[in-house]
Amino acid sequence: MYSSPLIVTTLNENQTKTGFQIKELKLHKDRVVGKILRKLPQYFPFESRTIDLCKDARSPKYTAFCATDTSCEKVGICLLVMNNSSTAEIWLLAVSPEFHGQGIGTLLMARAENEARNRGRKYMLVRTISPSQNDPNYLRTFSFYKKLSYTFLFESEDIWQGTTCAFLVKKL
Ligand SMILES: CC(C)(COP(=O)(O)OP(=O)(O)OC[C@H]1O[C@@H](n2cnc3c(N)ncnc32)[C@H](O)[C@@H]1OP(=O)(O)O)[C@@H](O)C(=O)NCCC(=O)NCCS
């Protein structure tokens, strides 16, 4: 009797069931940051800020992870920085708008958290626009971090000119 072959699919560490892959990006980090941020004007409206983040991406201080889809298109980016011996920080996280809500942000955060943990950090810090600003886009971003078990610490008006910044933290 014919029996169909058993198809075993194995996923390596960086592959996901959704077909998106997360990998460390070593080259052209600034280009990827620029390309993705310019697709998100409602979140990153200031070109000068985008240029600053592209500059940061070129610095060895920041580790970059990118998400690629099945056609190797880069659809998400995360910049991670080690603040001190106990704390790491998500310096930038952005996913191309057409891919929102498909789990890519969650995967990038998991990768960054793993990296920070492996490098001996105990806490991960993130900054985002505070819910007190009532920006509907950033309210979703805030709920994204809450969903990933980040705790709101405090907000400050002194960090970003004209915008209230919220700090959140997670024990790794
Ligand atoms: C915030 C962001 C990185 C999340 O990435 P993502 O791949 O869309 O998120 P995931 O699919 O892993 O998680 C989905 C959850 O994120 C939240 N979320 C935030 N923004 C969202 C969006 N635009 N679309 C869908 N879900 C969003 C929701 O809580 C959602 O949970 P739900 O499915 O139960 O509603 C992404 O939406 C993004 O790039 N936003 C614009 C830039 C930004 O805010 N960056 C962070 C700056 S501090």
Q: How many CB atoms lie within 10 A of CB 43?
A: 16
User: Ligand 1 atom 4: the closest Cα is on which residue?
Assistant: 105
Residue 1 has pLDDT above 90, yes or no: no
Distance CA 101, CA 23 (A): 19
Residue 63 in any domain: the answer is yes
Residue 1 in any domain: the answer is no
Tell me, what's the pLDDT at 6?
Answer: 38
* DSSP conformation class of 158: E
Q: Which range of residues forms the domain containing residue 84? A: 21-171
Q: Where residue 157 falls among pLDDT bands split at 50, 70, 90?
A: very high
Residue 13 in any domain: the answer is no
CA of 97 to the centre of ligand 1 (A): 9
- Which residues have CB under 6 Å of ligand 1? 40, 43, 93-95, 100-106, 128, 140-141, 143-144, 147
Residues of the chain with pLDDT > 90: what percent?
87
Q: Where residue 10 falls among pLDDT bands split at 50, 70, 90?
A: very low
pLDDT tens digits, one per residue of 56-115: 999 999 999 999 999 999 999 999 999 999 999 999 999 999 999 999 999 999 999 999
Long-range contacts of 47-54 (CB under 8 A, 24+ apart): 53/79, 53/91, 53/92, 54/30
Residue 75 in any domain: the answer is yes
138: domain CATH number is 3.40.630.30
Half-sphere exposure of 149 (CA within 13 A, CB side): 8
Sheet holding 123-129, edge to edge: 21-25, 62-68, 74-82, 87-95, 123-129, 163-171, 151-160
CA of 4 to the centre of ligand 1 (A): 40
Residue 10 in any domain: the answer is no
- pTM equals 0.92
Question: What is the count of structural domains for the chain?
Answer: 1
Q: How many CB atoms lie within 10 A of CB 3?
A: 5
